[in-house]
Structure 1
Amino acid sequence: MVDLELENDAITKVDANATIQEQIQELSKRLQNVNDDLHQQVREKHGALLQQATHAGRFDVALNNLASDVEQIRTAGHKLKTQIDTQYQQVDNQTRVLGHLHELSHLLRSAGTLLSLTAKLRSTRDVLKQAEIHYELAQLVDDEDLKKIEFVQNARSEVITSRQKLRNLTQMQLVTGLQERNEAQVVNSLKIFKNFNTLQKSLENLVATFITDLEQSLKECFAGTDISLLSKVDAHNSASSKTSTAIRGPGKTPMLTTTQNFRAKFWKSLHWLLYEELSESCEQVNLLKRSLDQIRQLGFDASESYDVHKHFWQAVQKLLRKSFAESPGHVTQTLQEGLAKLLTSARGLEERLGGEFLFEKDIFFAFEVGYISKCAANMKASLAGVDLPSNETVDNFIRVASTEISAALIDARLTNTVAAVFISCGRELCTRLEAQIKLGADSKQVVDIPNFQQTQNVLLANILYYYKDSVRRMLSDLKVHFSKSKTSAERDIVKSLEQSNILISTILQQIMDSILSTISIILLSMHREPGLNSEKISTSGPSMYMKELQEFISRVWVNHIGHFEDKEIVSRCGHELAKRCIELFVHNVSILRPISHAGRLRLKSDCAHMEQALRPICANLPDLGNPARLLRALSFLIVQPPEELVKQSIGSESLVPSYIVLFLLFGHAGPELQSPHTTANWSTERLIEWLEGHTSVREKLELISGALQRYRDQVRRKNSEQYDDLYPLIVDFFEKSIQA
C-alpha cells in the first residue's frame, strides 16, 4: 500500500512540460509497475488473505442466525404485550367500579353520621357536649360532596344555625366570665372555642376588643373628658354614652375650660384609665392565661403558638406609643410637665399586677426632655436675680429641689437625671458664692479682730455650710425612697457637696496658714528664752513663749475660727494645725542649744503646757494619733541622758524619728561638736523651714552626716587625739539609723 501511494505521488509529479504521448507512456509504465507490485504482495500474503476470507464467511452466517433469533423474540414480545394489556384493562375497569362504590359508601356513611350526630345534637342540652358534637360535625358540614345531597340539606342548615347560636352564646359567656372572674365559665368557653377550631381567632378578637376600648378611652382622655364617669356596664350603652357626652358633632360648640381644669380632668382620667380600666383588662388577660393553662393540663391541645399575655401587652404598649406620638400639642406638654405623675400611675399599675406586666423602659422617654426642662426652670427660678445667695435663697432652692426629686423618685433613670439638674444648679449656687470670697492679706490677718473681709468670708462659709446641711437633711428625708428606687442619685449629690467643702476649706485654710505662721514665729522665740541654760530657772508654770502661744491660740480660735458653723471642717483643719504645731514644737525643742538640766525640766513642763495650748484646736489630743504620742515621748526624752537616748528603737517601729534623737544628742555635746545647721551656716529659722520642706528622713540624716564629717575634719586638722565624749555615741546611733 505504501508503494502504491508512492507511485501515485510520482504520477502526479510528471513534468507538465512533457508531450501528451510521453506522459501517456510514462503513466502506462508506472501503472504496470503498480500492478506488478500488487500481484507480488498478494502472492506473499496469500495465506493471510484466505484466512480472513474464511472468517468473514463465518461471521456472515452468525449474523444471519442472530437476525433470525431477534425476529423470534420480537414476535414473542408482541404476543406477551397483547396478553398483559388485556388483563390490565380488565383490572382497571374493575378498580374504577370499586372506587365509585367506595365513594358512594363514604358519602352514605358520612350522610348517616351527619344525620345521627344532628339527631344527637338536637337531643343534647349540655353546651359543652354540643360543642364536642359540633367538633365532629365540622368537617361533615363543610364537605363539598355532602352539599350536593338533598336529603341532608335540612340537617346541615340545622347544624349551621346551632353552631352560630352556640358561638354567640359562648362569646357572651366568655365576656361575662372574664368580667365576673368566673374561671370555670371561662375554661368552658375556651373549650367550646377549641372544639370549633376558633380558639386562636377568638383570643385575637378578644385582645383586639381590649385594645379598641383602650384606644377609645385614650381619645376621650386626651379630649378632656372625665372617662371615670362614663358607663362601662354595657357595650351598647357605653357607645351611646360616649356619643352623647364626649363626641362632638359637626358645628357643635366645643365645651370651654381652663388649662388648670383640663389638666385636673386629664390626670384624673389618665390615672383612672391606667389604674382601673387597663388594670381590669390585664387581670382578665391573666385569667385567660390561667384558663388556657388549665385546659392544656386537662389534655386539650390549646393554641401553643399564641401567647395571649405577650400579644396583649405588646399591643397595649404599641397603642400607647402611637397615642403619645400623635397626641395634640397641649396634651404632649401636659404629659411632659407631669411625667412623674404618669410614671407614678404606670408603676402603681405594675405593682398592682404583681410585676406580671412591665412597661418597656423607653416608652416614656419622649417626655423626659420637657420634664427635665421644667425641673431645671423651677430650680433656676429660685436662684434667679440673686448675686449673693442667702440662707433664704438656699431654703427656696432646697424646697423646690426636694419637690422635684421626690416626684422623680418613682423612676431610677428620671431620678438620676433630675439629680444631675440639681447638682448643676447647686454648682451654680456655689460658683456665685465663690465669686464673693475675699483673698489676700486683709482676709487672713490674725493679729487683730476680724475685719470686714473676714466677716464676709465667714458669712459665705456659713451659707455654704447651711446649703450642705440642707442638702443632707433633704437626702435624709428621702433616704427610704432612694433605697427603694435603687438609684445612684444620692451618691452623686453627696459627691457634689465636695465643692462646698473645698470652698469652706479655702476660706479656712488661708486663716490656718496665717495662724501656723504666727505659731512658728512664737515657737522660734524659745531660742531667745532667757534662763534655759541656767540652773536657777524655775520649772513651775509655762515659759514666756508658751504663755504667748496659749494666749494667741485661745484668742485667734475664738475670734477668727469660732464663728464658722461647719464644725466638721473646722475640726479637720484644727487637727492638721495641731499636728503641724507639735511638729514645729518638736523641731525647735530638739535643736535648742545650749540648755541646762533645769532648762530641760522647764521644756518638759512646756510639753504638758503645749497640750493645754492645743485644746482649743483639738479637744481630745489623743485623736491626733502619732503626733500626740510624739509630744509625750519628747517630754520624756528631753530629760534623758545621752546613754538612754541611744537606746531608742530605730526604724518603722520607732515613735520618735532617729534624726530627732540625733538632734537631742547634739544638745548634750560640747560647743566644738556644732549642730548641723550651725555647721552649714544656717539660721534657726532656715533650718526649721528646711525641715518643714523635706519629709525624707534620709535627707535629714545626710544633713547630720555633713556635720559629723566636718567635726572629724576639724579634729584631724588640730591633730587632736581626743573626740567629744558624745561623738562615738552619736556616730554609732547615726550608723544604725542609716542602716535602718
Structure 2
Amino acid sequence: MAPASLQRSGSSLSRSPSIGSPSMLQRHYRDRSSSIRYDREGGLMPNGLHNEAEAAARVAFEEFSKDSVFSKFLSEDFNATLFASDALKNGSATASSEKLEEGIKLLEKQLRSEVFLRQDDLLQQLSSLKDTEGTLTVVRAGVESLQTLVQRVRSEIADPYKQIKLKSRQLSSLHETIELIRSVIRTLKQMKRLRELMDSGGIKADLSKAAQLFSEVETLRKESDLSGIEIIDSEVPWLTEAGNRIRAEAMKGLEKGMESLNQAEVGTALQVYYNMGELKSTVEQIFSKYKSQVSKCIAAALDMKAISASVGASLGPGGIQRSGTPQLGGGSRAREGLWQRMGVCMDQLHSIIVAVWHLQRVLFKKRDPISHVVFLDEVVQNDDPMLTERVWEALVKSFASQMKSALTASSFVKETFVLSYPKLLAMVTGLLERIIRDTDVKGVLPAIKVEDGDHLIAALEPFQTAYLAQVLNRLSELVHAMFPVAIRGSIPSQEQISKLIVRIQEEIETVKQNGRLTLYVVREIGKILQLLAEKSEYQVSTGPDSRQVGGPATSLQIKNFTLCLYLQEVHQKVTSILSSYPQAAAEVLSPSLGAIYGVAVDTVTPIFKAMIEKLESSTLQLHDQDFGSDEMAYDIESKSSKYLEEVQRAIMHFRSEFLSKLLPTSQSAYASGAGESICARLARKMASRVLFFFVRHAALVRPLSEIGKLQLARDMAELELVVGQHLFPVEQLGSPYRALRAFRPFIFLETSQIANSPLLQELPISVIFHHLYSRAPEELESPMKRLKLTPLQYSLWLDSQGDEQVWKGVKATLDDYAARVRARGDKEFSPIYPLMIQLGSSLVEAGQQQKL
C-alpha cells in the first residue's frame, strides 16, 4: 500500500500547479515578496502584518531549500516520475510518502496564513468586482440602445442609396448605348464612304484615302467592340475583301516602284500601309522576301547539278554524273554555264541591295502629312540596324556559307574558281563598286560602306589561298627546273630565264585589275625571286681562279658572268614590269629584287676589285719615275710613261677578256630601260677610281720640273683616252673627270695665279695642297714624308679621312716649317706658305658649306 500511496502522492504533486513543481514554489515566493511590497506601498496592510507574513514565507522557503527531499522540488528541471522511481528503488517509499504529506501540510498551513493575512485585500477586491458588474450592466444597456438607433438610421438611408445606385446604372447604360450608337453610325458612315470610293473606281486614284477610311473603320470596330451588332457583322466580309484589295493594290505599286526605283510610287504605297497601321509589318515582309531571294540566287548560281543538266544534252551518253560534275567533254560548257550563272547572281544581288536601299531612302524622306512622323522611325528603332545593314549581313552570311559548301561539295566548282580566281574576284569587286556607285547620293546613307566590302571578299579567302598557292607552285617549278639536283653546278639557260620572266609578267597581268590581289601575287613572286637568289648564290664560283685578271677569262669566270647577266635581266625586266603599277607593289618586291641584285653583284665584284687593285698598283709606279729632271725631253714626243703603258695594257686586256663579255655592245653597255646595268655601274666606279687615284698620286709627285709637267699632262691625256674608250665614257663620270681635266692646266699655273683660279672648285682639297708641296722648298715637308709613309700607305689613309683631317695634317707641316724659319731668325717665308694658309681655311669652310 505504501508504494501505491507514494505514487499517487507523487502524481498528485506533479499535477498540482502550486505544489508539484519547484518552479511554482519559487514563483510563489517571488510573487509573495512582490505582493508584500505592493501591499506595503499601497498601505493596505499594517507594517507588522506585512513583516510577519514575509518572515513566515521566508522561513517556509528556507525549510524547503535546506531539506534534502523538498529541495528537489525547487529545481527547474524537476521530474515527478523520476522522483517516484528513485523513491521506489531506494526502498523508502513509506518514508518519502510521509515526508511529502508533511510538506503538503506545511504548504496548506502557509496558504491559510496567506489568506488570513490578506483577508481585507481579498474582500476589497471582491467589492470592486461587484461594482464592475453594475457598471457593465449600464454599458450593455447603452450599447443595445445604440444598436437600435443604428438599425433605424440604416433602414432610413438604405432605400435612397439603392435608388441612386439603380438610377446611376441606368444612366451609365444609357451613355454606353448612345456612344455605341454613335460609333455604329460613324462606322456605317465611314464604311459607306469607303464603299462609294471603291465602287466608283477611285481606289486607284486615291489609294491612301481608301486606306485611311479602312483604318478608321477597323479602329472603330476594335475600340468600340462592335462585334455582335448585326448591321456591322453583315458588312465584315465586304470590309475584309476591301482591305485585301487595298493591300493588293498597294503591294503592286510598291513592287513597281521598287523595280523602277520610283520614289513617288514607293512613297504612296508606304503611305497606304502607314494609314492602315501595317507599315512595319509590311516592310518586314518585304525584307524577308529579299533576304530569301539572296539565299536562293546564290544557291542557284552554285548548283552544279542544275548547271550540268543544262548542258547534259550535248554530252553524249551517260547523262550527268551523280555528284553534279559534268561528263568528259562537257567541262568547258559547264564552266561557261557556271560563270554565266554567277554573272546573273551578281546582277540579282545588286538589284536586291539597291532596292532595299531605295526603300530605306524613301522611308527616311517620307513623313506622314498629319502627324509628321518619319516613316523610318516607325520601322527602325534607335538601336536597331538599318535595313541595308541587315540585308547586307544576310547576303555576306549566305554567300560565305554557300562558297564554303561549294569548296568542299564540288571539285569542279573549286577547280574553276581557283584557276580563274581573278575573274571571280573581279565579279565580286564589280558588285561592290556598282552598289557603292549607284547608292552614292548626297544627303542619303549609302547602301554599304567601303569596309563592308571586305566582309564579302573575305568569303573568297579559301579560293584566294588556293590560287596563290598555285601561282607559287607554277613559278617554283620553273625555278627548280633551272637548277636540277642531278646536275651539280649548272646554271639556267636563256630560254629558262625568259620563260620565268614571261610567266611573272603573265601572273601580274592576270590580277592587275585588283590592287589588293596584285599585292598578294607580287608577294608570292617575291618568294620566287628569293628562291632564285638563294639557288643562284650556291652556283657562284669563288676562289683564286674567279678573281684572276692577268690571263683570259676562265670557265668559272664565264659561268659567273652568265649568271650575273641572267640575274641582271630578271632584275631589270621585273622592275620594268612593276613600273606601271602602284608604288606599293614595288615596295613589296623591293627586298626580293634587292636579293637578286646583290647576288648578281657578288658574282662579278671580285673581278672588278682585283682589276682596280692591279690598276692602282700600276699607277703607284708613277712615284718610281723622275718628274723633276730635265733629261726627259727626248721622251716627250715619242712615248708615254712606262707605268701608264702598263695601265693601258691592263685596261685594254680587261676590256677584251672580261668587260666585253659583260657588256656585249656599246649600246647596252651603260644603261637599259630599267636603269644602269650592274656591270656598267661597276665599270663606272672603276673608271672613276682610276682617274681619281691617278690625280691624287700625280699631285704627290715632288719635285716636278717643267718637263715633268709636260710628261704628266701627256700621261693624263693618254689615261683619259684609254679609260673613255675601254672602260666608261669619261664625260659621264662627273667630279673625277672634272678633277682630271682641271689638274692638267692647274699644274702649269703660276703660283701667284692659284689663289684666284676657278680650277680650285673642280679639284679636291688634298690634290690642291699636295701639288703645292711640289712648289715649296724641301724643308716644307709633305704629310706623307713627315709621317714616313709609303705612297700606298698614305693613299689608304687619305681614303679614310675627310677634308678637315687632311687640312690638319697639312697645317701640322706648315707649323713645323714656320717654327724652323723662326728658329733660324729668318723674317720671310716661302710664297707657298701664306698661300697654303690662306687656301686652307677658305677651302675647308667652303667644303663644309657645300655639305650643308
Q: CA RMSD in A?
A: 4.2
**Structure 1 residues 511-522: aligned runs within 5 Å:** 511-522=607-618
Please name the residue that 1:546 is paired with: 644
Per mean C-alpha deviation after superposition, the further-off stretch among 152-161 and 499-508 is: 499-508
Is this contact kept in 1: 2:305–2:323, CA < 8 A? Answer: no
CA–CA distance in structure 1, aligned partners of residues 655 and 234 of structure 2: 112
Equivalents in 1 of 2:323, 2:689: separation in Å?
A: 80
Q: 1:349 to 1:225 in 2, by over 3 A?
A: farther
Give 1:314's aligned amino acid. Answer: E
Return 621-630 or 201-210, whichever deviates more: 621-630
Q: Is the 8 A contact 1:626 1:655 kept in 2?
A: yes
Q: TM-score scaled to structure 2, two decimals?
A: 0.66
Letter in 2 for 1:604: A
Q: State yes or no: 1:661 paired with 2:768.
A: yes
* 1:687 and 2:802 are equivalent in the alignment: no
Which residue pairs with 1:31 in the alignment?
none
> Aligned-pair distance for 1:372?
2.4
Q: 2:584 aligns with which of 461, 480, 488?
A: 488
2:277 to 188, 197, 201: 197
Q: Which AA in structure 2 matches 1:430?
A: A
Q: TM-score, normalised by structure 1?
A: 0.75
In 2, Cα distance between the equivalents of 1:95 and 1:258?
90
What is the distance in 2 between the residues matched to 1:198 and 1:108? Answer: 28
Output the CA distance in 2 between the equivalents of 1:728 and 1:451: 54
User: Is the 2:250–2:269 contact (alpha carbons within 8 Å) kept by the matching residues of 1?
Assistant: yes
Residues 163-202 of structure 1 mapped to structure 2, 5 A cutoff: 163-179=243-259, 184-202=264-282
Please state how far the C-alpha of 1:611 moved relative to its aligned partner: 2.7
Partners of 1:286 and 1:309 within 8 A in 2: yes
- Structure 2 residue corresponding to 1:529, chosen from 622, 625, 646: 625
Q: Does 1:696 align with 2:802?
A: yes
Are 2:351 and 1:280 equivalent residues in the alignment? Answer: yes
For residues 266 and 330 of structure 1, the distance between their equivalents in structure 2, rounded to whole angstroms, comes to 18
Residue 323 of structure 1 corresponds to 402
Match of 1:437 in 2: 540
Greater alpha carbon shift after TM alignment, 698-707 vs 268-277: 698-707
Equivalent residues in 2 for 1:304-323 (5 A)? Answer: 304=377, 305-306=379-380, 307-323=386-402
Contact 1:274 1:345 in 2 (8 A): no
Partner of 1:126: helix, strand, or coil? Answer: coil
Alignment of 1:2-13 (within 5 A): none
CA contact (8 A) 2:251 2:269 kept: yes
Shift of residue 494, structure 1, vs aligned partner: 4.5
In structure 2, distance between residues paired with 1:101 and 1:520? 130
AA aligned to 1:528 is: D
The 1-side partners of 2:558 and 2:224 are apart by 105
Identity %: 20
Select the residue among 326, 336, 347 that pairs with 1:257. 326
Q: Distance in 1 between matches of 2:807 and 2:225?
A: 118
Q: Which has the higher contact order (CA 8 A, sep 6+)?
A: 1
Q: Is the 8 A contact 1:590 1:660 kept in 2?
A: yes
Q: 1:274, 1:349 within 8 Å by CA — same for their partners in 2? A: no
Partner of 2:709: 600
For residue 480 of structure 2, give the secondary structure of its aligned residue in structure 1.
coil
- C-alpha displacement of 1:116: 1.5
Aligned partner of residue 291 in structure 2, secondary structure: helix
Give the CA deviation at 1:444. Answer: 2.5
Alignment of 1:632-671 (within 5 A): 632-645=741-754, 655-671=762-778
Offset at residue 525 of structure 1 (A) = 2.2
CA distance in 1, matches of 2:430, 2:654: 59
Residue 197 of structure 1: how far off its partner (Å): 1.8
CA deviation profile, 1:362-393 (whole Å, cap 9, x unmatched): 33334233332232222222323331333333
The amino acid across from 2:574 in the alignment is: V
Give the match for residue 427 of structure 1.
530
Q: Which residue of 2 aligns with 1:43?
A: none
- The Cα of 1:162 is off from its aligned counterpart by 1.6
Once residues 706 and 412 of structure 1 are traced to their aligned partners in structure 2, the CA distance between those partners, rounded to angstroms, is 63
- Contact kept, 8 Å, 2:267 with 2:366, in 1: the verdict is yes
Give the secondary-structure state (helix, strand or coil) at the position aligned to 1:446. Answer: coil
Cα pair 2:364 2:374 within 8 Å, conserved: no
Contact 1:177 1:186 (C-alpha < 8 Å) held by counterparts: yes
2: CA distance between counterparts of 1:562 and 1:529? 32
- Paired residue for 1:122? 195
Q: Structure 1: any 5+ residue segments left out of the alignment?
A: 21-77, 231-251
Structure 1 pair 508–723 and aligned structure 2 pair: CA distance change class (3 A)? farther
> Mean Cα displacement is larger for which, 679-688 or 125-134?
679-688
Q: 1:660 to 1:272 in 2, by over 3 A?
A: closer
1:467 to 554, 570, 574: 570
Q: Distance in 2 between matches of 1:711 and 1:134?
A: 121
Q: Give the secondary-structure state (helix, strand or coil) at the position aligned to 1:146.
A: coil
* CA separation of 1:105 and 1:711: change in aligned 2, threshold 3 A: same
Q: Measure the CA separation in 1 of the matches of 2:778 and 2:323.
A: 109
Aligned with 1:497: secondary structure? helix
- Any conservation in 2 of the 1:582–1:627 contact (CA below 8 Å)? yes
Measure how far apart 1:254 and its partner are. 6.6
Tell me, yes or no, if the aligned pair for 2:360 and 2:376 is still in contact at 8 Å.
Answer: no
The residue aligned with 2:457 is 364
1:456 aligns with 2:559: yes
Cα deviation, residue 159, structure 1 = 0.8
Unaligned stretches of 5+ in structure 2?
1-39, 42-46, 60-149, 311-320, 381-385, 440-446, 484-490, 664-668, 671-675, 846-852
* AA of the residue aligned to 2:273: F
- What is the aligned partner in structure 2 of residue 398 from structure 1? 501
Change (3 A) 1:109 1:374: farther
Equivalences for residues 74-153 of structure 1 within 5 A: 97-124=170-197, 125-127=201-203, 128=207, 129-143=209-223, 145-153=225-233
In the aligned structure 1, how far is the partner of 2:478 from the partner of 2:679?
Answer: 30
- Give the CA deviation at 1:460: 0.5
- 1:341 aligned to 2:341? no
Instruction: Say whether the 8 Å CA contact 1:226–1:269 is kept in structure 2.
Output: no
Distance 1:290 1:581, change over 3 A: same
Q: How many angstroms apart in 2 are the aligned matches of 1:93 and 1:574? A: 126
Q: Secondary structure at the match of 2:524?
A: helix
Query: Which whole-Å CA distance do the structure 1 matches of 2:397 and 2:655 have between them?
Result: 68
- Mapping of residues 48-67 of structure 1, within 5 Å: none
Distance 1:489 1:735 in 2: 50
Q: How far apart in 1 are the matches of 2:240 and 2:293?
A: 31
Q: Determine the structure 2 residue equivalent to 1:209.
A: 289
Instruction: After superposition, give the CA deviation of every residue in 1:516-545 in whole Å (9 maximum; x if it has no partner).
Output: 112212222222336652165255574443
For residues 543-567 of structure 1, give each alpha carbon's deviation from its aligned partner in whole angstroms, at most 9, with x where no partner exists. Answer: 4433443443244234312333574
| Distance apart, 1:433 and its partner CA | 1.5
Residue equivalent to 2:338: 267
Is 1:611–2:720 an aligned residue pair?
yes
Distance 1:734 1:271, change over 3 A: same
> Which amino acid counterpart does residue 662 of structure 1 have in structure 2?
F
Q: What displacement does 1:655 show?
A: 4.3
Q: Tell me how far 1:329 sits from its aligned partner.
A: 0.6
Using a 3 Å threshold, how does the CA distance of structure 1 residues 553 and 215 change in structure 2: closer, same or farther? same
CA shift digits 1:110-152 (9 cap, x unpaired): 1112112222222222220322321222312334621132221
The answer to whether the Cα contact below 8 Å between 1:274 and 1:346 also exists between their aligned partners in 2 is no
Measure, in 2, the Cα distance between the counterparts of 1:552 and 1:179: 84
CA distance 1:179–1:681, shift in 2 (3 Å): closer
